[in-house]
Structure 1
């Protein structure tokens, strides 16, 4: 090696070391979390897009009733729920990068099935069956994707920032849902329903590309795994609190567009946008609160605000009142997942973190799977606004559960 080449290598090594030294913990956090956030955003944008067009497609074009609308919406979350244990085990044993890749491939498959369903829209029963199949595939994909994303992020940055990881992943999740719904409504009116479903495939590719350069996490194959049902038992208090708090979100995402249409209140996409905006802003400005003040306090305050928002929608006389209710629901619901999640993951060993997060998120899935059909029945028996009384009561039940599990 010449002296010149040696000198160049020394200079390069010093520059690399200096760059490493000057990199702050926050910069390292951002370098890891931003690709994961982009991936999660793309995945939940696909979920939001289906939420924006499927209720109207099933009810207005296929001519099925509100109960079937709730079943179609809830089916995805039921599929997610039933595969949480598998997603957690796969993530812990094969690594989050592998489970993330499988989830992305399944979203591509669901987009293809949705496209076929749109092609057979004149055959209502065939189209409905294909949509249900697509919802199941989409639900399994969601289970793998979010479990791997949370485990990946926490594993790379450390448990001391677990609340922040869950907060920013949640921003990506609900930003995707909030933006996806109105975007899909616009895409359908401009380019047709098939463009919405084709978009799912494109988003899957974006999700994969965003994280392809992230390092893999080491897997401890020798660790004796705690059975899934025991993990559920450990985190049941936080999980049930999450489940009941999520019913308000399920009611809003599934039926707010039909409520606005029934009341002739104009464009329902505004409700999604306001919910999403307040949800995101709350997480942006208060993301450190669960780690700083503790999950228990943050959850109690959040549940009270969400209950107020649901009651405001229930008793709204004008579009403005309903939109204000959506805003309060977004503020209240925003920090519940990370607040209770911080408490949940402290109860398990690091090697079981993926399983614990999967089990914790399963309560969210259970809530959304059951809330859709129940809300559909309430709408059929009473009215769309009565659904949000159900949401408010559920928030108060969550408040009681969280308070009861303060020292557990």
Structure 2
């Protein structure tokens, strides 16, 4: 029985495992650099915290700006081609970092090349992730879309967790030069890993207007954004919260969040395909709400650590669960576009939460930002319930 005649449930998941591993290797470029960029800009270049914020945050804007184009490219020119384009662009990230090292005669040239690398990382990330999700769906079929999204999520968060200690080790022993070389090598190895994975056919048929696709994914996207507030407030304010409460080991909070996130993906990544995305989302958001409330009202550090673990567990399955619902709503020929737009809702949540929560923290304290995150998660539950009662429209594909 040839692959194109196989039922989706009969197709091997090994190609998706390999493409996800390639994402892990490629995204190590982001994980390795993430803890190092602030040190390089602040200590190495002698710039202030505003410049540190620009260097770290500019990647988000590049990713967001390219989401729609990356999805359209995956739909119309091929998912494998789009994925590998993203990897190629991310190779250039390391090259820009390397050129920055050798431009030590000019501070602003060094900083400009560093910013170029960050912009390229954002552009490459959107091609990589949107393309790879679309590729995986073509390899094993829409009925197992939850597996594809779960494995890609594990690859991303795993690379961030593994990349941080690697990046700090390289920076402390080999300076930014070692970091730059690693950022070149990782995506090149990834390109070799997925070179022999077959491409999938480009779906034909009329392509609906972008506004039509956006309307189809608007409600799941809103749920994803409401979920994303929880991670954003932990990432932005947990260190300050711990310092204000005179607690130690704030760094463990993100580690525990990440471990819980990945563990739930490993153990329950296929559940959205079986239980339905909306049901899984409702349960997940309730767990996230409990974790954020525990963070808000913590009396001791270990209470906050447990809250972070619950928040990570709750956040873990919302993207694949709502992604399952997205796949029910859109036609095959616009899956890439839909996934790109869907992911953008999370980007927007991450970008907008920081400054808004900062104003809240200034006026009401750090605990209030976690209470606000819990409220957003509860609103997500309400929105999800409306989806459950309304029923999700199915695509015509």
TM bin, normalised by shorter chain, reads 0.7 to 0.9
User: Deviation at 1:351?
Assistant: 1.5
Structure 1 residues 308, 380: closer, same or farther in 2, change over 3 A? same
The alignment partner of 1:405 has SS state of: helix
CA contact 1:309–1:325 (8 Å) conserved in 2: yes
The yes-or-no answer on 1:400 pairing with 2:373 is no
The yes-or-no answer on 1:290 pairing with 2:269 is no
**Aligned 1:7-406 pairs, distance under 5 A:** 28-55=11-38, 57=40, 62-65=46-49, 71-117=54-100, 128-220=111-203, 223-256=205-238, 268-375=250-357, 386-406=368-388
CA distance in 1, matches of 2:51, 2:369: 16
Highest RCO, 1 vs 2 (Cα 8 Å, sep ≥ 6):
1
Structure 1 residues 274, 101: closer, same or farther in 2, change over 3 A? same
TM-score by length of 2: 0.85
User: Deviation at 1:33?
Assistant: 1.4
CA distance in 2, matches of 1:273, 1:368: 18
Segment of structure 1 superposing worse, 234-243 or 161-170? 161-170
User: Deviation at 1:129?
Assistant: 4.3
CA contact 1:95–1:217 (8 Å) conserved in 2: yes
CA distance in 1, matches of 2:367, 2:172: 27
CA contact 1:58–1:69 (8 Å) conserved in 2: yes
User: Deviation at 1:248?
Assistant: 1.9
Greater gyration radius: 1
User: Deviation at 1:206?
Assistant: 2.1
Structure 1 residues 126, 103: closer, same or farther in 2, change over 3 A? same
TM-score by length of 1: 0.83
Partner residue in 2 for 1:9: none
Query: Which consecutive unaligned segments of at least 5 residues does structure 2 have?
Result: 393-397
Segment of structure 1 superposing worse, 359-368 or 124-133? 124-133
User: Deviation at 1:131?
Assistant: 3.8
